[in-house]
Amino acid sequence: MESIGIFLRKNITLFMMELRQTLIHLMMCLLSLAALRCGVSTNILTTASKDTGDSDIDDSDTDDSDSGAVSEETDSHTQSDEVIDDSESALTDTETCADSGVLPQEVLLIGDSWISVACADLGNNARRADVLDVNEDYVCRAAFGATMDKIVLQYEQYVALNNASVKVVVMNGGAVDTYGTLGTQDSVNNVVNMFQDFLTYLQSEGTVTHVIYALYANVLLPPYADLETPMRDACIASEVPCHFVELQPVWESNPGYTSYDGINPSAEGATAIADAIWKRMTEQCIAQ
């Protein structure tokens, strides 16, 4: 009986040690997954496990998974850097433009999600071209879900609250209004009328020298076909120079530019929007 008791105690002890190792390993795996989701390097977790002094843990599996994750993370950063490098050569040729004298705070971005997601990338393009200093940026007031009247209000509030003088307006608008009414002709006409009134207001105010309007690509939300012609015509008829940037050609053959929700731009799409706008700004020497 005594020998049986000793045997059982030894086996229970071994079982508890194996269970402890399994639980610790499982915890490390879960932490690794959480770290990848939050963008934290799994090297930190590996270092932490070594610092705890758990020398009895078999790290071979964890190290393999971590190294694969780190390699995948590094590859994604490399691809992102390559995109930036490719665009840099195409988006920094501003030598033919004279200094416009436009200050960063005089360039205002207004609109809905299709502009708000591109604000950072547009500033990055300007910094790469040495149009903006490293600590400078354009003013972005665009917001998700903004209807055309709210977009106009974005401009009015920025000017009033900051006693600001805006020279360049980068904008979009109209999709949220028409989508909410299932694209009725009345909703399209209402958007076009508000856009025309806004352009007239800018002309009477006398400070804005350029308006850039970026029309949505033809995805689920934006009624591309309904807005294309009337918004282009309104832009052409504007007394304030209005530059119509059509995003549909940019989106063609690039399904990855649309987010998983089928409505908003993805991170790649946001960069593409910013690049298209910046291309027009450099071509027309706007705020260079």
Give the contacts of 262 (CB within 8 A, at least 6 positions apart): 219, 220, 221
The rounded distance, in Å, linking the Cα atoms of 20 and 266 is: 43
Structure tokens at 134: 């490293």
Which residue type does 4 have?
Answer: I
3-state secondary structure of 246: strand
Where do the domains of the chain lie, and which CATH numbers do they carry? 2-76 (no CATH), 87-91+100-283 (3.40.50.1110)
Per-residue pLDDT of the chain (288 residues; tens, 9 = 90+): 544 444 444 444 444 445 444 444 444 444 333 333 333 333 333 333 333 334 333 333 434 433 333 333 334 333 333 332 333 334 445 568 999 999 999 999 999 999 999 999 999 999 999 999 999 999 999 999 999 999 999 999 999 999 999 999 999 999 999 887 877 889 999 999 999 999 999 999 999 999 999 999 987 554 677 899 999 999 999 999 999 999 999 998 898 999 998 889 999 999 999 999 999 999 999 999
Distance (Å, rounded) from C-alpha 3 to C-alpha 9? 10
Q: By the 8 A CB rule, do 247 and 277 touch?
A: no
- Could you tell me the pTM of the whole model? 0.68
CB 185 within 8 A of CB 137: no
* Alpha-carbon torsion (221, 223, 227, 232), positive or negative: positive
User: Residue 170 and residue 286: Cα distance in Å, rounded?
Assistant: 11
Distance of alpha carbon 182 from alpha carbon 160, whole angstroms:
34
